Amino acid sequence: MAEDSVAQDQLRAFIERIERMEEEKAAIAADIKEIYAEAKGNGFDTKILRKIVAIRKQDANERMEQEALLELYMRALGMVAAPSDD
What was the pLDDT predicted at 80? 84
pLDDT in tens, 6-57: 999 999 999 999 999 999 999 999 999 999 999 999 999 999 999 999 999 9
Whole-angstrom CA distances from 6 to 15, 18, 20, 64 are 14, 18, 21, 51
pLDDT confidence band for 2 (50 / 70 / 90): confident
Using CA atoms, how far apart are residues 17 and 35, in angstroms rounded to an integer?
A: 27
41 phi and psi angles, rounded to 5 deg: -65, -25
Does residue 1 register a pLDDT over 70?
A: no
Whether 78 and 72 have beta carbons less than 8 Å apart is answered as: no
Using CA atoms, how far apart are residues 41 and 62, in angstroms rounded to an integer?
A: 33
Whether 75 and 82 have beta carbons less than 8 Å apart is answered as: yes
